[in-house]
Amino acid sequence: MNKRKILFVVTQSEMGGAQRYVFDLATNLPKDQFEVVVAAGGNGSLFKNLTQANIKTIKLNHLIRPINALKEVQALFELRKVIKHEQPHIVHLNSSKAGVIGSVAAKSIDRNIKVVYTAHGWVFNEPLNKVKKKFYQISERATAKFKDVIICVSQFDYNSALEKKIVTENQMGVVRNGLSFDKNLLLSKREARSRLDLPQDKIIIGSIGYLYPNKGFEFLIESLKNIADEILLVIIGNGRQASELNKKIGQMKLRDRVKIITNQRTPVKVLKAFDIYVCSSIKEGFPYSVLEAMSAGLPIVSTNVGGLPEMLDENSGILVEPKNSQALAKSISALLNDKQKALALGANATKRVGVKFTLEKMLTETLSYY
């Protein structure tokens, strides 16, 4: 059988949801059917992870997340050069910038190249001003004709694209993120807390994610004012909002109760350090961090945004409205006061992710679009 070459393109290489998705597909596609190449911007750990897995990578010097007209033109020509050289049968684009520029680059070279685009949460659903929202909607709508299929990671994103008239439904499908979870990776509660230098005798609320406004960490920090004084909050992540969040913690006189931990290479290992997992996001796609918390059996409180209400049902988590620190505090406190419910939610979450959101399921459904 002749192998088909697939070129994955993602805007940034710092490991996040889109990068995890690309890594999982790139390393798990049938090797007898596909030759895989991954191109990305930045200098993130995606390159190292893929190289260790013997996947060819290409660094894109001009593909960056911020809008920059000169860089967009340079990125277009850079991607055209890569596509001409690699001659892929399929170009699988990930994230908005890669989707817009990559689709034009591919189809301007060869209309027969199959262009697949995965939208990991539409950027026009982010908390932006009206002008930016409109710009992103127009960009997505204008370049949809250069994409053979658009994969949404949630029904929410699928419905949102139809509502904004980005694309017709016969050009679009839903494939929810899935993961392969090895519970042997998890450290015990005692080991995890020792590694993070956390007290063994305290109840700890935890969250993992980029320190970035979309994650809503300021609301999670604020919620602690309405939660019993002996409860601690730990946030694990890196990002541009670190100093701002630390400043807020100081202003709220919560330094003895909130700890932000950066530079944890494999935060999934220390999930058992937490008694309750919280996702406070304002905007989400279908987050791997919550899937991992479900797999670890943690009781979860999450905001009701993006694909999260599809991920968590009433038996596997508690959903609250975003940007509402009081609602977060109320639901967290309810779990602290009802240990049986907390245990039941965690157990049900583990069962749910093992049936509905597996890597095998995601892989099979994605292959059907190739």
More confident residue, 326 or 263: 326
- Positive or negative: CA dihedral 270, 274, 277, 280: negative
Cα 237 to Cα 212: distance, rounded to the nearest angstrom: 9
The answer to whether residue 176 scores a pLDDT higher than 80 is yes
**CA nearest neighbour of 305 among 152, 136, 126, 167:** 126
Phi and psi at residue 153, to the nearest 5°: -90, 0
CA distances from 315 to 311, 339, 346, 351, 355 (A): 11, 14, 9, 11, 14
Q: Name the region of 283 (left: φ>0; alpha: ψ -120 to 50; beta: rest).
A: beta
Residue 157, helix vs strand vs coil: helix
Please state the φ and ψ torsions of residue 65, each to the nearest 5 degrees.
Answer: -75, -45
Torsions phi, psi for 126 (to 5 deg): -75, 160
pLDDT at 67 > cutoff 80: no
**Token pair 């279908």 is at which residue?**
286
**What are residue 29's phi and psi, to 5 degrees?**
-65, 145
What local confidence, expressed as pLDDT, does residue 60 receive? 97
* pTM of the complete model: 0.94
Tokens (6 digits) for 247: 């400043």
Q: Give yes or no for a contact between 194 and 166, defined as CB atoms under 8 angstroms apart.
A: no
The pair of three-digit structure tokens given for residue 213, joined into one six-digit string? 């406004």
Q: What is the mean pLDDT of residues 7-31?
A: 96
N-terminal to C-terminal alpha carbon distance within the chain: 16
Look at residue 86 in the predicted model and tell me its pLDDT: 98
* CATH of segment(s) 183-356: 3.40.50.2000
Q: Give the C-alpha separation, 288 to 181, whole Å.
A: 11
Instruction: Please give the distance of CA 169 from its chain centroid, rounded to a whole number.
Output: 24
Separation of alpha carbons 206 and 143, rounded Å: 40
Which tokens is 109 given?
Answer: 């070279």
Whether the predicted pLDDT of 1 surpasses 80: no
The mean pLDDT of 282-309, rounded to a whole number, is 97
CA separation for the pair 363, 30 (Å, rounded) = 10
pLDDT tens digits for range 106-119: 999 999 999 999 99
The owner of tokens 């909050």 is 233
In the chain, domain spans: 4-174, 183-356
Matching fold, domains 4-174 and 183-356: yes
φ, ψ for residue 234 (rounded to 5)? -125, 125
Are the beta carbons of 315 and 339 closer than 8 angstroms? Answer: no
Pick the CATH number of 4-174 from 3.30.2310.20, 3.10.20.30, 3.40.50.720, 3.40.50.2000: 3.40.50.2000
Rounded Cα distance, 236 and 174, in Å: 30
Confidence of residue 197 (pLDDT cuts 50, 70, 90): very high
Residues 39, 50: contact at Cβ < 8 Å?
A: no
Q: Are 120 and 87 in contact (CB under 8 A)?
A: no
Q: What is the mean pLDDT of residues 88-103?
A: 97
Extract the tokens encoding 293: 């918390």
Residue 311 has pLDDT above 70, yes or no: yes
For all residues of the chain together, what is the average pLDDT? 96
203-224 residue pLDDT tens: 999 999 999 999 999 999 999 9
One-letter amino acid at 299 equals P
| Confidence at 246, pLDDT banded by 50, 70, 90 | very high
- pLDDT one-digit tens code per residue, 115-156: 999 999 998 988 788 998 999 999 999 999 999 999 999 999
User: What is the distance between the alpha carbons of residues 25 and 294, in angstroms, rounded to a whole number?
Assistant: 21
Q: Could you please report the per-residue DSSP string of 233-277? A: EEEE--STTHHHHHHHHHHTT-TTTEEEE---S-GGGGGGG-SEE
pLDDT tens digits, residue range 22-56? 999 999 999 999 999 999 999 999 999 999 999 99
Which residues are CB-neighbours of 5 under 8 A, at least 6 positions away?
A: 34, 35, 36, 37, 86, 87, 88, 89, 90
Pair of tokens at residue 67: 């809008």
